[in-house]
A and B are shown apart, each in its own frame.
Chain A
Amino acid sequence: MSGDNRARLLALYATMCRIRAFEETALAAHRAGEIPGPLHVSIGQEAVATGVCLNLQADDRITSNHRGHGHALAKGAGVAGMMEELFGRAGGHCRGKGGSMHIADFSVGMLGANGVVAGGIPIAVGAAQGLRMLGSSAIVCCFFGDGAINRGPFLEGLNWASLYDLPVLFVCEDNGVAAFTRAESVTAGAGVLARAEALGVAGVSVDGNDAAAVDDAASRLIAEIRAGGGPRLLHATTYRLMGHTSTDPARWREAGEVEAARAHEPILRLRARLLAEGAAMKALDAIEGDAWAEMSAARSAALAAPWPDLATAWEDVQDIGAAQEAV
């Protein structure tokens, strides 16, 4: 199995460390007033993006949600462009016009984070349909949270993908909480897998804090999709260690719940496994140190990077009937 391979575990570890370091660095920058606007971090959920994206190829596409830094990094989005985007700078992937909630890097097949829950689902199925029409063998991976399964596009999109046998991996990143509300308190029935199965989309549940398990499950589902099996769904349970946004302390959670969850967070777990299997602590420390150094350098560079030229505010609205600056 792929996950048994030491190099593969180290690759998972490295990507998770980079996502964690990116988001912790961004949080620090946000607290320091360097990053404006809302920031939704996925600290504690890194194994899902990492384990899934390790099984994707360069021309595969992903759609993401408002908590999408990890998805973008795992798909290969450039760190400098991501950090500059968070800072609203000219060199950001979106030229400073999108920010954290709208990170996209089309050059690596990352078709965009999304500020609307479930917003990426119809886009993902359409991308898969378009790719097939163009004769491509690429697949599409669609990340969304447990809150999204209560929105109409979830039902529509899964029905659609199933109906047209589209090559889509739906990934429900189930952190158990929809914004400030426990998902179970607003979700009826037997859950996401049952809903998917009712629509003809087969799926599996996995411990989403176990990167190797996510890797294994995603690897199997993606192989089935690539073999022409149609869409699949991966239900990955995880835990959001932080609040909904960077400024949300999430005090409604019972005392001790977060501390207990920290013991199961994915980076520590994989680290413990690697050490138990004989990996050198020094090597793991070096991976982590490199990740922090990379993100720290990206923060400094973003802080020093130029703001967008004001003229760019008028650009990329539309070709026909574009508003003119001097009205």
Chain B
Amino acid sequence: MADVTLIEAVRLAALQEMRRDPRVWVLGEDVARGGLFGQYGGFVEEFGPQRVVSTPISESTIMGAGLGAALVGTRPIIEMRIFDFVMCAMDELVNQIAKIRYMFGGQAKPAVVVRMPHGIWRNSAAQHSQTLESWFTHIPGVVVAVPATPADAAGLLVSAIRSDDPVLFFDPKNLFPRRGALADIIAPLPFGQARKIRDGKDLTIVSWSAAVPIVEEAVETLAARGISADAMDLRTLWPWDEDAVCASAARTGRLLVVHEAVTTGGFGGEVVARVVERLGPGALRRVARLGQPRVPVPFAPPLEDALKPDAAKVVAAAESLLRD
């Protein structure tokens, strides 16, 4: 057991899996230099340039070549560098990777992991800060992982690499320095199981990725004010832990979903809709979503800070839900 940062945890997870399975390899810009965030540090020295392939800035072909290599039996980790660049590879991801198993009647399973470090980080502005994970839950054929802790990120990455399904793995950029315990041998963590942040009875708070530390802070403030929040981190959005959310919401009758993504069309809407469908419209007394306003992420620090969810906004939203 070691205490490591999130970025070191995912480095160790990929390292473990590349040692375990010679079919696993990584391709993307600068990966042989350790990757933009150091998540592949030391890989090329150990595995060589055939398995740690620094590529041209050719997102379509990074994605599509990963697929082609998977179709002949390798298991690529496709590194997108920054999430926002996947927009240059959407045909290869949405029309090809997500469709190929179904469209070809099961002749091929594209066993790829697509890593997309996402979210607001160091005032990187509108093209390097987006959280569009909800788009991808809309696409049949893929798994969507949105971890927030070192252990979860490592365990989910191990599962992703071993999975025959294409897994879209959203590394949380702003949480890379976050520390936590990591087992010496990283076990695969199943997709679709929420992690409880705090047990409570007054309201249910659901979050994931960069919103998780915000919720962690907020629930402590709420507890100090006598409000007991039942808070959870979904960890994956497809599949997602409907059972855990519904069980909690059925008990508390109040549901708040917090995500860094724009509220409109965000996955919070899906969470609320499913809870209402399953529990019935009378089961919930109050519901709210907290995310970004429908505005691109601005550059200037005061503007960025003003728009993004923070613990104070979560506390305010939670207190508002309890006033009825």
> Which residues in A have some Cβ–Cβ distance to B below 8 Å?
61, 63, 92-98, 102, 104-106, 111-112, 114-116, 119, 121-134, 136, 140, 152-153, 156-157, 159-160, 163-164, 315-321, 323
Contact = CB atoms under 8 A, between A and B. Distances in A.
A157 B102 contact: no
A130 B60 contact: no
A126 B68 contact: yes
Interface residues of B, number: 49
B128 interface: no
Contacts of B64: 119, 121-123, 125-126, 153, 157
Given A156-B58, A320-B143, A96 B105 contact: yes
A112 B101 CA distance: 11
A320 B163 contact: yes
Given A157-B61, A318-B140, A319-B164, A98 B69 contact: no
B93 to A, nearest CB: 11
B104 A134 contact: no
B269 interface: no
Contacts of A114: 96
B165 interface: yes
Given A126-B66, A156-B61, A98 B141 contact: no
A122 B61 contact: yes
Contacts of B288: none
**A97, A104, A129 pick with most chain B CB within 10 angstroms:** A129
B120 to A, nearest CB: 27
A77 B76 CA distance: 28
Nearest to B66: A126
Most buried by B among A97, A106, A123, A319: A123
Given A121-B61, A133-B69, A133-B74, 20 more contacts: A93-B107, A115-B95, A116-B95, A119-B96, A123-B65, A123-B96, A126-B65, A127-B68, A127-B69, A129-B53, A129-B65, A153-B61, A160-B56, A160-B58, A160-B61, A163-B56, A164-B53, A317-B101, A319-B165, A320-B165
A317 B165 CA distance: 9
Nearest to B64: A122
Contacts of A96: 105
B68 A104 contact: no
A30 B140 CA distance: 30
B249 to A, nearest CB: 19
6 contacts: A94-B104, A106-B107, A125-B65, A126-B64, A157-B61, A320-B163
Given A111-B68, A112-B100, A317-B140, A152 B105 contact: no
Nearest to A106: B107
B25 interface: yes
B73 A130 contact: yes
B55 interface: yes
B107 A116 contact: no
A116 B95 CA distance: 8
Interface in B40-82: 50-51, 53, 55-56, 58, 60-61, 63-74, 76
Contacts of B164: 319
B281 interface: no
